[in-house]
Amino acid sequence: MSAGGIADAVGAAALLGGALLSLLASIGLLRFPDVLSRMHAATKPQVLGLLLVLLGVGLRLRSSIDVGTLLVVAVFQMLTTPVAAHMVGRAAYRTGNVSGDALAFDELTDGLAGDGPGDPSARMR
Amino acid sequence: MVMGLCLFALGVAAALTIYRMAAGPTMLDRVIAMDVLVAIVVCGLGVEAAFNRHATTLPILVVLSLVGFVGSVSVARFAARDRT
């Protein structure tokens, strides 16, 4: 088997893995009960699934400019996904969608009440 | 064969995600589903480009990975502002 054939086969496996990860994440999105656990499921296709798919695309196209474009996609995705997840999690906490009895430690409630380490009035609203 | 399997999995994933986006129940669930849908679209375009061996759609992937988070960030900001 030639090197190109091996790269094609590995790329196909990576693409299939990424697609199945997306499917698993959407099932989790459907079945999980609240916002934070749905966020947990949602990160799978956004980072690992997308990276697997990009790896598969790169292994099958194999030209340097295409691989460079795919690297740019991976870097941008890994830069922007945590920003969105941070904002959604923050909004979920502040709108009361996080149940406190499921948390082992909760320093944010004290911080938001004003007697904790961080004064909320100085924070971004 | 593998391409059909990948696209079938991504299609089912997109359908379930769209159901979650329609069902809610809160705006944040819809936002999360929208993010996942963007990731699934990127995966689908990548799968199609990989199996047909063309690079025509790669710039679309760059654009989606760059601006996909803007909508969810802005909706999350407005959802957090509702209460205060």
Put simply, the chain A residues between 81 and 120 with a CB less than 8 A from any chain B CB are 81, 83-84, 87-88, 90-92, 94-97
Confidence of residue B12 (pLDDT cuts 50, 70, 90): very high
pLDDT in tens, B32-70: 899 899 999 999 999 998 888 888 899 999 998 888 888
Distance CA A1, CA A4 (A): 8
Task: Kindly tell me if the per-residue pLDDT of A22 is higher than 80.
Answer: yes
User: Mean pLDDT for chain A?
Assistant: 82
Put simply, the chain B residues between 45 and 84 with a CB less than 8 A from any chain A CB are 46-47, 49-51, 53, 55, 58-59, 61-62, 65-66, 68-69, 72-73, 76-77, 79-84
Structural domain boundaries of chain A? 3-124
Which pLDDT does position B10 carry in this prediction?
A: 92
| Residues of B in Cβ contact (< 8 Å) with A113 | none
Can you tell me the mean pLDDT for A100-105?
Answer: 72
Report ipTM (2 d.p.). Answer: 0.86
Q: Who has greater pLDDT, A36 or B24?
A: A36
Which pLDDT does position B82 carry in this prediction?
A: 57
Which pLDDT does position A125 carry in this prediction?
A: 45
Confidence of residue A116 (pLDDT cuts 50, 70, 90): very low
In a mutational test of the A interface, the residue from B2, B8, B28 whose CB has the highest number of chain A CBs within 10 Å is: B28
Q: Who has greater pLDDT, A117 or B5?
A: B5
User: Which among B32, B43, B77 has the least Cβ separation from residue A22?
Assistant: B43
Per-residue HEC secondary structure of chain A comes to: CCHHHHHHHHHHHHHHHHHHHHHHHHHHHHHCCCHHHHHHHHHHHHHHHHHHHHHHHHHHHCCHHHHHHHHHHHHHHHHHHHHHHHHHHHHHHHCCCCCHHHCCCCHHHHHHHCCCCCCHHHCCC
Which pLDDT does position A54 carry in this prediction?
A: 92
Indicate whether this model's pTM tops 0.95.
Answer: no
Task: Kindly tell me if the per-residue pLDDT of B25 is higher than 50.
Answer: yes
